[in-house]
Structure 1
Amino acid sequence: MPDPRKIKTPGVYVPEKMIFPNSVIQVSTAVPVFIGYTQKANDGKQALLNKATRITSLKQYVQLFGSGQGALLKFAITAAPASWPVPNAPHVTINGREQAVQASAPSFYLYNAIRLFFQNGGLACYIIAVGNYHENILLEHFKTGLSILLDQAEPALLVMPDALLLPHDDFYALVQMALQQCKEMGSIFYLVDVWGGSAMADVNVIGSGSTLDVITDFRTNIGADALSYGAAYFPWLNTSILGVDEITFANLPDLDTYIETDASHQAAYHAVKTALLNTAYALLREDNAMHNEATIAAVQQSHLALLAVSLNYKQLIAAATAAANVQPAAGALAGVYISSDLSKGVWKAPANVNLAGVIKPTLYITDAVQQILNVSTADGKSVNAIRTFPGRGVLVWGARTLNGNSNEWRYISVKRTVMMIEQSAKQALLPYALQPNNADTWMKVKDMMYNFLLGLWKQGAFVGTSPTDAFHVSVGLGTTMTAADISNGVLMLELMVALTRPAEFIYIRIKQQMQKP
């Protein structure tokens, strides 16, 4: 609207005057970022390596970053040791000998984490590819990924499943670094899996000081700073994410010594080998990543033929598939967080929720073991359990941050709600920077924040039967600021909120009533 004192053209002028205050827009809490290794990283026009790329579906991920490792994922078949069972190594009996089937090369986790993410309610996420399947797994790659994350405003969760492939000390150096960065950014919450969690053989050793005590090792090495900005989950998961057609002979050693020894099976096997298998092996030597359609078709045709003629082969494939399906939990948990945030709100604990695509945890967690995980009297570092319950399936059965002894930041939902309020307020107050620090500005800010918190209270974010009981907004001279503050250009806003907390421990008290005459 032009200045009325400067108008020189006759006519009617209608000024629009704003009577409503600016509003606070709730920042998104439902977008994670995944950092790790991918098959490729390009969109056909430009490279996407070391760039934050937003995707909204598994199909889009495959288009930009490829799929799993294909024939690059190798398994070894070894004689089962006398001290069986080998932790999480499926075993089969082949020609009278008990054999263990284990991955013999790094099994990258990012692709399957993305699959679990979308299966469990995930919608959009960011991918930061820091390398491909042919590269060495290095701490520096993840440091680069974290530095790229510094420039991203939307992601609210951090997942790094491939970090579990780092050596022990590098992994924990990265965890401490990531937690510290989450604290500095104030907008990111880190979902952590326990290093070595897939190799746990006996839950009874937890807390016993055994060399297999990965929980004590985890608590010892994650440090003591910024613990409220992350949550840990244990154990890893036996999933159904890889189908029986994704693992083939291309992932196994030469089959000659593993096929049935009787004449009829040997004849059937050699017929398949002569007609199909030799051609498939030749193609694989030139295309071990299985990019070409001819290679993929030849492998699948030979695979189906072998399944039809050999029970041993079928058992080996089942065992290798089971081994490949052991996955860390954070990818699935990211989907659970997003689903819970969108359906109920960030103030609802992402727990007591079924996990899709999961058969069972790799370990059976009892109440006694969870007590050790949930509450650590030594250092207060909580680890959330994933458990199987009869008739209820696989459930996320914990809702604590790593800072489990903190009265303020013990619960994931409490910490993430406060993070959401802080970031929402920060974005909303940016237009008021360098505005006059006077009563008019204070009133606008107070009204804006009051309306925002009122909306959250109505959605169930706060306890209290009235807004007065649930929250309070203060700003102004004599309440949050002194005359010296104002002289120094300081505008101080104080928010007090009564946050809802999860009912972690539910008691039922039953009393017998005397029979009335």
Structure 2
Amino acid sequence: MSRFLTPDVYTEEVPLLPQSVAEVSTAVPAFIGYTEKTEKNGESIKNVVYRISTLLEFKEAFGGAQPASFRVNVNEEVIENVEVTAPQHTLYHAIDLYFKNGGGDCYVISVGSYQDEPNKTSFLEGLEVLSKEDEPTLIMLGEAARLDAVDYHEVCQMALNQCQELKDRFCIFDIQNENEGVASFRNGIGTNNLKYGAAYTPYLQTSLTYKYQEESVIISGSSGQETIQLKVEEAIKIVYNGSAQDEPKATINKGSAGTPSFNNTGTTLTITNVGEGISANAVVDAWNSFDDKGDFDIVVLDGTATVESFTGSRNLTTTGGDGASLRLSDIKESQSELYNRVVNEVSKQRIILPPSAAVAGAYATTDRERGVWKAPANVSLNGVIAPVKKITSKDQERLNVDSDNGKSINAIRGFVGKGTLIWGARTLDGNDNEWRYVPVRRLFNMIEESTKKASQFAVFESNDAVTWLKVKAMIESFLYGIWQQGGLAGATEEQAYFVNIGLGKTMTQEDILNGRMIAEIGLAAVRPAEFIILKFSHKLQEA
């Protein structure tokens, strides 16, 4: 109480409004994985929790995507197929897919560079670092799905343990992309803390393209020929049947107009007396009379076409062959038409990713537009062409309801005219009536964390009716707002929630003597309409 000692006019501000509860963020994922760079400005950012808001910020801090490699099989200049060796580290693409699906601010923990092999220890260290950060609410382990099943499941168990200890976060898991992935996951994840996680399957064929370098695109085939075309494309083609590693060349000297002559040094074929206007047939006729052909050959493309005068040397490039290959960069100038076709085919290859990144983006979008109490399901995914495996309603029965141990798995399915949708909203604890649904668990996480932070003001305050009233009014006001938005079930406030606090209600005299102030909060959480049943019957004619 103020003491007034000097005669004067004094003003005082009397607080009348109660403390308020600020709603914490609900969809702030933390991605753990490997990045191109683990240093920034000369300082290590490995195992450092780094907050980003855009993909550009990720690129500035951690670099770009790990390049893929390709083998393009070409037979007689016809592209037969493209084989992709996907990169083993896909965190960059996962972040990209997350933002494409409406994701907002997130955290990234780099546990190594692209030169490192994925290993369990790195992910466990990343989880340990994450446990010291307060804001993240979703744990993302998409890259860990590349570990072997035993190691991956152990990492998932440790993530669930962290959720149980901190009670402010939730795990989004991927079912590994293998034939027995679902059964393996259910057997390996254990039975502890299942209410803090949800699993999704199958993997997704995304619209994202691979990053690559021209040197990592190998062109090979079954023709066994390495070819180069002279200046007149319709006339002749010089063929070398050895290996591209010999770096064969064709040198053309104009010389005097007459019968072409040839000299073969093993890897260089020199043609002399190629006069202006000489026909392709004339060149090949002279070639057929030459004895020392070695691995070279000359093929007629159009016998009546003329070979213009050309003086110079060219490297031969290849369209493939057993043991004969070249890189995309080798044909960029010499065979621009084939180069463009190969680039076009490579750009058609799309990345396959675990679904968790896209699901996290859907969580963020749903929370922002509808609220954390809305099930993040029946939501269309962006940047996704289709699931890699088609799941039918019959297949999903076994995923949604597990008669053995109740571990529900959420399906991602493609629907005609709708696209790819998340078609499930269950936690791993599918047999628990309280924590069966993802939005119920995450709603309680949000309310618990929000009220916990807001109640900090009461620490060391007098444990009496005045403080109890402030705390109760603060929490009731917060829950009333959630109820008005549709986050709690009930036609009246009394049906939707209650807050009890006080001596004889939630505390005994011993509690007060021991410094405990106990508030009891009850919530009627809304649950998703998972099964909509429409019953029809015949109405008999009455007149």
TM-score normalised by length of structure 1? 0.81
**Counterpart secondary structure, 1:151:** coil
Aligned-pair identity (%): 38
1:74 to 56, 64, 69: 69
Q: How far apart, CA to CA, are the structure 2 residues paired with 1:459 and 1:371?
A: 33
* Residues 1:445 and 2:471 aligned together: yes
* Residues 1:239 and 2:206 aligned together: yes
Query: Which residue of structure 2 lines up, in the alignment, with residue 216 of structure 1?
Result: 183
Q: How far apart, CA to CA, are the structure 1 residues paired with 2:239 and 2:95?
A: 37
Query: Which residue of structure 2 lines up, in the alignment, with residue 23 of structure 1?
Result: 20
1:371 to 386, 393, 397: 397
Alignment of 1:57-456 (within 5 A): 57-70=54-67, 73-75=68-70, 101-103=83-85, 106-195=87-176, 197=177, 199=178, 212-242=179-209, 246-247=211-212, 249-252=214-217, 254-257=218-221, 308-309=337-338, 313=342, 317=346, 321-322=349-350, 325-456=351-482
1:55 to 46, 52, 57: 52
Amino acid at match of 1:133: Y
User: Does the CA-based 8 Å contact 2:35-2:92 persist in structure 1?
Assistant: yes
User: Does the CA-based 8 Å contact 2:205-2:388 persist in structure 1?
Assistant: yes
User: Does the CA-based 8 Å contact 2:144-2:152 persist in structure 1?
Assistant: yes
Amino acid at match of 2:91: L
**Counterpart secondary structure, 1:142:** helix
Q: How far apart, CA to CA, are the structure 1 residues paired with 2:206 and 2:445?
A: 32
CA offset digits 1:243-292 (Å, max 9, x no partner)? 6xx3454334x4244689596789699999998999xxxxxxxxxxxxxx
Q: Does the C-alpha gap of structure 1 residues 362 and 484 become closer, same or farther in structure 2, counting only changes over 3 Å?
A: same
Q: How far apart, CA to CA, are the structure 1 residues paired with 2:128 and 2:239?
A: 53
Q: Does the C-alpha gap of structure 1 residues 150 and 263 become closer, same or farther in structure 2, counting only changes over 3 Å?
A: closer
CA offset digits 1:282-320 (Å, max 9, x no partner)? xxxxxxxxxxxxxxxx9789669867316984686267x
Q: How far apart, CA to CA, are the structure 2 residues paired with 1:306 and 1:413?
A: 57
Q: How far apart, CA to CA, are the structure 2 residues paired with 1:227 and 1:487?
A: 37
The offset of 1:33, in angstroms, is: 0.7
Q: Does the C-alpha gap of structure 1 residues 170 and 487 become closer, same or farther in structure 2, counting only changes over 3 Å?
A: same
CA offset digits 1:163-218 (Å, max 9, x no partner)? 112222111111111111111111111110012x1x4xxxxxxxxxxxx3211111
Amino acid at match of 1:505: F
Amino acid at match of 1:41: T
**Counterpart secondary structure, 1:255:** strand
CA offset digits 1:67-124 (Å, max 9, x no partner)? 1112xx33568xxxxxxxxxxxxxx896799868352x75212111100000000111
**Counterpart secondary structure, 1:225:** coil
Q: How far apart, CA to CA, are the structure 1 residues paired with 2:420 and 2:239?
A: 40
**Counterpart secondary structure, 1:122:** coil
Query: Which is higher, the Rg of structure 1 or of structure 2?
Result: 2
Amino acid at match of 1:397: W
Amino acid at match of 1:250: E
Amino acid at match of 1:308: E
Amino acid at match of 1:421: I
Query: Which residue of structure 2 lines up, in the alignment, with residue 493 of structure 1?
Result: 519
Q: Does the C-alpha gap of structure 1 residues 225 and 304 become closer, same or farther in structure 2, counting only changes over 3 Å?
A: farther
**Counterpart secondary structure, 1:401:** coil
**Counterpart secondary structure, 2:17:** coil
Q: How far apart, CA to CA, are the structure 1 residues paired with 2:315 and 2:31?
A: 40
The offset of 1:162, in angstroms, is: 1.3
The offset of 1:156, in angstroms, is: 0.6
CA offset digits 1:391-419 (Å, max 9, x no partner)? 11000000001111110000000000001
Amino acid at match of 1:365: I
Q: How far apart, CA to CA, are the structure 2 residues paired with 1:432 and 1:276?
A: 81
Amino acid at match of 1:120: N
Relative to its length, the structure with more strand (as a share) is 2
User: Does the CA-based 8 Å contact 2:228-2:316 persist in structure 1?
Assistant: no
User: Does the CA-based 8 Å contact 1:306-1:313 persist in structure 2?
Assistant: no
* Residues 1:477 and 2:503 aligned together: yes
Q: Does the C-alpha gap of structure 1 residues 106 and 13 become closer, same or farther in structure 2, counting only changes over 3 Å?
A: same
Q: Does the C-alpha gap of structure 1 residues 188 and 310 become closer, same or farther in structure 2, counting only changes over 3 Å?
A: same
Q: How far apart, CA to CA, are the structure 1 residues paired with 2:90 and 2:487?
A: 35
Relative to its length, the structure with more helix (as a share) is 1
Amino acid at match of 1:215: V
User: Does the CA-based 8 Å contact 2:66-2:87 persist in structure 1?
Assistant: no
User: Does the CA-based 8 Å contact 1:33-1:157 persist in structure 2?
Assistant: yes
How many residues are aligned here?
Answer: 458
The offset of 1:470, in angstroms, is: 0.6
Q: How far apart, CA to CA, are the structure 2 residues paired with 1:139 and 1:438?
A: 51
User: Does the CA-based 8 Å contact 2:225-2:239 persist in structure 1?
Assistant: no
**Counterpart secondary structure, 2:379:** coil
User: Does the CA-based 8 Å contact 2:214-2:329 persist in structure 1?
Assistant: no
Q: How far apart, CA to CA, are the structure 2 residues paired with 1:370 and 1:458?
A: 35
Structure 2: gaps (5+ residues): 230-235, 250-313, 318-326
Q: Does the C-alpha gap of structure 1 residues 347 and 269 become closer, same or farther in structure 2, counting only changes over 3 Å?
A: farther
Q: How far apart, CA to CA, are the structure 2 residues paired with 1:122 and 1:19?
A: 39
User: Does the CA-based 8 Å contact 2:71-2:219 persist in structure 1?
Assistant: no
TM-score normalised by length of structure 2? 0.78
The offset of 1:469, in angstroms, is: 1.1
**Counterpart secondary structure, 1:241:** strand
Runs of 4+ in structure 1 off by over 4 angstroms are 92-100, 258-278, 298-307
Structure 1: gaps (5+ residues): 78-91, 200-211, 279-297
Amino acid at match of 1:38: T
